[in-house]
Amino acid sequence: MNNGESSYRRSSEIGLDALECLVIKYNKKLVFYLFGLVNDLDAAEDLAADSFLKLYTKKPRIKDEAALKAYLYRTAHNCAVDYLRALSRRKKLCVETELNEETAADVLSLEEEFVKDERQKQVRHALSQLKSDYRDVLYLLYFEEMSYDDVATVLKKSRKQVGNLAYRAKQALEAELVKEGFNYENG
């Protein structure tokens, strides 16, 4: 039994100690994923905390770590959608073109943990230029290393839809990279 699943099972038996193990394991990646959805680091951190709280309070029956991770990301995705809906209803949803310096520094430090060299930065930038469906499917498949079935669960799509979406997303990413002058020969 792997660490995530055993930690979760312990969390439902012994309390918050095992939940802490799950937070340590998944929090940074979950915040990074949520930041991509809501474009607000503080909100992403709050939404991640809400997701862990929902995981702990609802205690769904989880078979393995992949299912646990998919459930956690689906919960986080739903929290992000609810958050964006609430902003829209209050008519406070505005597209910010520039981040303030403090938030930009926080985002940069978070990104540096995941993006180590210049080629990865180019890929990350090209990925950010894609439609949100394309960005989500590629992020979950390649950065979170989820299976097509798990991505289908998170995005509420069929496995076939995820496959088609991934194919189109890869083509769009390649076109964006070519447009930005990405050099394939050295990679």
d(CA 66, CA 4): 9
Structure confidence at residue 12 (pLDDT): 45
Q: Which residue has the higher pLDDT, 98 or 165?
A: 165
Q: Read off the DSSP letter of residue 97.
A: S
Asked if pLDDT for residue 3 goes beyond 80, the answer is no
| 143 and 114 Cβ atoms separated by less than 8 Å | yes
Q: Read off the DSSP letter of residue 175.
A: H
Q: Which residue has the higher pLDDT, 132 or 110?
A: 132
Render pLDDT for 78-91 as a digit per residue (tens, 0 to 9).
999 888 888 877 65
CA angle 90, 98, 137 (to 5 degrees): 75
Structure confidence at residue 152 (pLDDT): 92
- The pTM (predicted TM-score) of the whole model is 0.58
d(CA 145, CA 26): 13
d(CA 112, CA 153): 29
Residue type at position 118: E
